[in-house]
Structure 1
């Protein structure tokens, strides 16, 4: 199963449209928050099952704060990350992932891509398609491959 993962698009759709075209076909779409009212557009654009959570800039949103999903036998926590202090380190999301017996924790908020495996849990932040903050400031996203009984494989990709 191919999963397309983005975060922190902040209402700007151009780069999202480009990566959807680039990565099609994919089986599932995940947005880790700060969509700023564009969730209906995104669901129509990707034409596949979606999980979209709210971020700290999704004021008055009906989107959930976080979601637990199961794909190909993998327990996955999807959150924006600001409630777990991801700007200060990964300990909060790691502890939450352990407490919920997750194999994957997906988050955003920092606008910096991260792909680390800690204590058997894949911690993945796709970065930002609209306002990247890492060195070089290239818009980024992630693609994750999931297979039942195999470890998740993820890759940060750049525009």
Structure 2
């Protein structure tokens, strides 16, 4: 199974659609929140199955805002990450995933790409395609799953990212606060 993973598109899905069309043999898209409507639009536009979770900008403030995705490799915990305070550290999200018998965690919220294995648990954050932080280019992930393995690559958009300042006190507070 080959999975395309996005997070934190924040209303800008043109690049996501373009990337999907450039890649071959994608079996599933996973969208990890911010914005829920982006996931719905991608599902309407693209001829592929899509799983998604809600993020802090989608009004998701329940500890139950996650999904367990069953694969041939094992369970994968899908969450935006804001309710597990991933900006403060990964312990909470790791404990939650392990308590649910998951072998991997896919999350967003930080806008910073990450793929690593910690104590047998894979952690994947595709970063943000439309609003990356720290001068990075927009990023996404491609994951290949078999019964024996989970392999992921963090990929970056080709064109240099132009940083656009988003306005609005409440929007910035919600997006950048670990309390939400």
- For normalisation by structure 2, the TM-score amounts to 0.81
Contact residue 39 and residue 50 of structure 2 kept, 8 A? no
Q: Is the 8 A contact 1:11 1:36 kept in 2?
A: no
- Asked if 1:32 is matched to 2:47, the reply is no
After TM superposition, which residue ranges in structure 1, 4 or more long, deviate above 3 angstroms? Answer: none
After superposing the two structures, state which structure 1 stretch, 119-128 or 15-24, moved more: 15-24
**Correspondence for 1:140:** 139
User: How many residues are paired up?
Assistant: 154
* SS of 1:116 mapped into structure 2: strand
Matches within 5 A, 1:68-79: 68-79=68-79
In 1: Cα distance, 2:59 partner to 2:141 partner: 25
1:121 match: 121
Q: In the alignment, does 2:5 pair up with 1:5? A: yes
Residues 102-122 of structure 1, C-alpha deviations (whole Å, 9 max, x = no match): 111000000000111011111
Give SS of 2:57's match.
coil
Whichever of the two has the greater Rg, that structure is 2
Contact 2:36 2:53 in 1 (8 A): no
- In the alignment, structure 2 segments of 5+ residues that lack a partner are 158-180
Structure with higher helix content: 2
Cα RMSD, aligned residues only? 1.5
Counterpart mapping for 1:1-159 below 5 A: 1-59=1-59, 65-134=65-134, 136-148=135-147, 150-159=148-157
Partners of 2:30 and 2:51 within 8 A in 1:
yes
Per-residue displacement from partner, 1:82-105 (whole Å, max 9, x unpaired)?
A: 011100111111111111111110
Looking at structure 1, the residues matched to 53 and 36 of structure 2 have their Cα atoms a distance apart, in angstroms, of 11
In structure 2, how many angstroms separate the alpha carbons of the residues matched to 1:81 and 1:107? 5
Calculate the TM-score normalised by the size of structure 1: 0.91
